[in-house]
Amino acid sequence: MSNKRLTVRQIAEIANVSIATVSRVSRGTGQVSPETRERVLRVIEEHGYRPNQLGRALAEQKHGAVAIVFPGLAGPYFSELIQGFEYEAMETGASVHIVGTHRRAAADDDVLAMSARVDGIAVHGGTIKEETLRRLAADVPVVVLAGRPLDGIPAVRADNSRVAELTRHLLVDHGYRRLAFVGNPDGSPDVTDRWEAFRQGHRDARVPAPKTPVKIGLQQSDGVIAAGELFERANPPRAIVCANDETALGVLIGALGRGLKIPGDVAITGFDDVAMSSLVQPGLTTIRQPIRELGAVTARLLLSGLGEPGAVMDTVLATELVLRGSCGCR
Amino acid sequence: MSNKRLTVRQIAEIANVSIATVSRVSRGTGQVSPETRERVLRVIEEHGYRPNQLGRALAEQKHGAVAIVFPGLAGPYFSELIQGFEYEAMETGASVHIVGTHRRAAADDDVLAMSARVDGIAVHGGTIKEETLRRLAADVPVVVLAGRPLDGIPAVRADNSRVAELTRHLLVDHGYRRLAFVGNPDGSPDVTDRWEAFRQGHRDARVPAPKTPVKIGLQQSDGVIAAGELFERANPPRAIVCANDETALGVLIGALGRGLKIPGDVAITGFDDVAMSSLVQPGLTTIRQPIRELGAVTARLLLSGLGEPGAVMDTVLATELVLRGSCGCR
DNA sequence: TTGTATGCGTTATCAG
DNA sequence: CTGATAACGCATACAA
């Protein structure tokens, strides 16, 4: 186990060339005569030589790695996001550190420490304090993912304002009253935007909006818990707008478990359009955001060398309203 | 942005000492006189000096990082597993690379490339070929997570055999016949073990077992799809044993959506005991495995320097049968 | 086209 | 207790 690998020097000696030539051959840069290249290549192949990442990193003054920071990893949203990010990063040969803060106390310090190990960091909105974000950006290139630009830090996000359109659809097209919003705006820029759009939709339709959202997390289990609260009310809501599909599915499961009819007794909508949303009965009305693309764009931005004047500071990706059965359509 | 950090040399110059002394002070090793230490410490503090990770890594000949390789990141199972692993790794100051293979073609190569960047790799069962695993283990310490030991490679896993007990419970205590197993044994050691235990349970109860499982993935959406297939059969199963909770929840949602009664029309069981399982109506009967602990034990093993003679080759963590409403209990 | 020599930032050894 | 100095493995400007 753990055989000692050979170094440039040893390969150079065996192939009877200088270490410079070995380096040139192994990384394909500079001019090398065909015969020499052939010979060196054979030795490299034969001994399974691969340049030591540590030495290379030090010489090149770069880690060849980037990091992406999340609140947690649960659910298909993060999975998709990471896939998009990871794939794009791999393309350029960079490896990816994934940091889940899991609302740990030391999370901010961990992220700061991470800055010493990577060439850039993507930070998901709502994971670390703004102050920490600023300090981080002083050490290393940073992109905010699913949040707003801050000072010189660029952001990549989806168009959450479409929730206003969805809300208007429920109020006007279906004529529902007594809507509820499920999701906690505190600490999540996405949820904040969606809650605001929910209220905007009410204003557009000239219907008074609820004063407070049902503050709860973004996982499916949170949705079940929210359902428990909402359906026990004396005057339960006619329609429930959830901050994401996961909670919407949780609410839907809670409703189904109570024998409620959807959308007959209650309409439910989400945000994301994850795989489950088109599979449940009835299908979940939601807003599709290009999650994978979000991750990919973030990675590209991070790896394209930020900070030049005239750089893109805010990238907002389009979203799309997807009408299925759970809102009352069809 | 990206201010250039100071080096040992500059700190040494400012503090009027040698770089050796700065190193000693900054890492707290060796003997330094109180006055000198004080002075150097002040300079370090003042200039916010932190040793460059690249230089340190090269000098110490270690990366200070470990990796954990997964098939995908979807679902609470992986989230929990990673949390357990990450927390334990952070304790020792190591950072964590998370690699999702996402059934990519180049996954094996990516994992191999990863070996040049870390001090150890935990590989989840069913992610890469055995051959790749062996080559990997030649380069770097490896632990198999949720799989079986291979050659010299140790494994950490949960006791899947308890599925036999669960199966027996359904067959004997509840007297169900026509059970189905949902999950694809190919490529997942855990599912293989559970499928085998399912058959063992039938043998124990002297009931003929189904010849084939419903081969499908481990996500909730796969469960919904499985439900579609199972409930369309001319002779649908009386009880469904799922390879994990996610698929079980998917099946349950599919059943609920069709208006089926659980457990009246069909009993459903899972494996894992994720948060959702105690929240759905009826509660999901399942087998609890200590997911977080699984991750933690793996990290500890990986960081404790493997490979000595007499090392632990196989760690099997206990699981527990959790009876709720979905199997017919209560 | 090829080789020599230097730098990258630390840690660690060995004299003093 | 402190300081020179040698690794660590690679990339690259500069010479030949």
Please measure the distance between the N-terminal and C-terminal CA atoms of chain A and give it in whole angstroms: 62
The gap between B17 CA and C8 C1' (Å) is 21
B78 neighbourhood in chain A, CB within 8 Å = 73
The gap between B13 CA and C15 C1' (Å) is 22
Q: Indicate yes or no: CB of A2 within 8 angstroms of CB of B307.
A: yes
d(CA A97, CA A111): 11
Instruction: Please give the single-letter amino acid code of residue A187.
Output: G
Regarding the domain delimited by A62-157+291-317, which CATH topology (the fold level of the hierarchy) does it fall under?
Rossmann fold (3.40.50)
pLDDT value of residue A310: 75
Q: CB within 8 A of A304, min separation 6: which ones? A: none
Token digits of residue A222: 């949170």
Q: Do domains A8-51 and A62-157+291-317 have the same CATH topology?
A: no
Cβ–Cβ under 8 Å, residues B37 and B4: no
Q: How do the pLDDT tens digits run along chain A, 330 residues long?
A: 445 689 999 999 999 999 999 999 999 988 899 999 999 999 999 999 999 999 999 999 999 999 999 988 888 999 899 999 999 998 888 999 988 888 888 889 999 999 999 999 999 999 999 999 999 999 999 999 999 999 999 999 999 999 999 999 999 999 999 999 999 999 899 999 999 999 999 999 999 999 999 999 999 999 999 999 999 999 999 999 999 999 999 999 999 989 999 999 999 999 999 999 999 999 999 999 999 999 999 999 999 877 677 789 999 999 999 999 999 997
Cβ–Cβ under 8 Å, residues A290 and A230: no
The gap between B36 CA and C16 C1' (Å) is 18
Regarding the domain delimited by B8-51, which CATH topology (the fold level of the hierarchy) does it fall under?
434 Repressor (Amino-terminal Domain) (1.10.260)
The 3 state secondary structure assigned to B246-307 is HHHHHHHHHHHHCCCCCCCCCEEECCECCHHHHCCCCCCEEEECCHHHHHHHHHHHHHCCCC
Cβ–Cβ under 8 Å, residues A288 and A272: yes
- Cβ of A9 less than 7 A from strand D: yes
What residue ranges do the domains of chain B occupy?
A: 8-51, 62-157+291-317, 162-288
Query: Which residue stretches of chain B have pLDDT < 70?
Result: 1-4, 307
Q: Indicate yes or no: CB of B221 within 8 angstroms of CB of A86.
A: no
Q: Which of A5, A276, A284 to mutate to test the interface with B (most CBs of B within 10 A)?
A: A276
pLDDT value of residue A5: 80
* Chain A nearest CA to B201, separation (Å): 30
pLDDT value of residue B306: 75
Q: Each residue of B267-288: pLDDT tens digit?
A: 999 999 999 999 999 999 999 9
- Cβ of A58 less than 7 A from strand C: yes
Find, in chain A, the residue whose alpha carbon is nearest to that of B262.
Answer: A257
Q: Indicate yes or no: CB of B55 within 8 angstroms of CB of A58.
A: yes
Which of A74, A83, A65 lies closest to A293, judged by CA? A83
Chain D bases closer than 7 angstroms to a protein Cβ: 1-5, 7-13
Q: Indicate yes or no: CB of B141 within 8 angstroms of CB of A1.
A: yes
B271: how many CB neighbours lie within 10 A of its CB? 32
Residue nearest to nucleotide D12 (CA to C1'): A20
- Cβ of A279 less than 7 A from strand D: no
**The domain A162-288: what is its CATH number?**
3.40.50.2300
Find, in chain B, the residue whose alpha carbon is nearest to that of A140.
Answer: B2
Q: Record the pTM.
A: 0.91
B113 neighbourhood in chain A, CB within 8 Å = 95
Residue nearest to nucleotide D11 (CA to C1'): A59
Find, in chain B, the residue whose alpha carbon is nearest to that of A76.
Answer: B74
Chain C bases closer than 7 angstroms to a protein Cβ: 1-5, 7-13
* Coil vs helix vs strand at A65: strand
A4: how many CB neighbours lie within 10 A of its CB? 5
Q: Each residue of B98-125: pLDDT tens digit?
A: 888 888 888 899 899 999 999 999 999 9
Q: Which of A66, A253, A262 to mutate to test the interface with B (most CBs of B within 10 A)?
A: A253
List C-alpha distances in Å: A149 to A128, A304, A307, B164.
14, 17, 13, 54
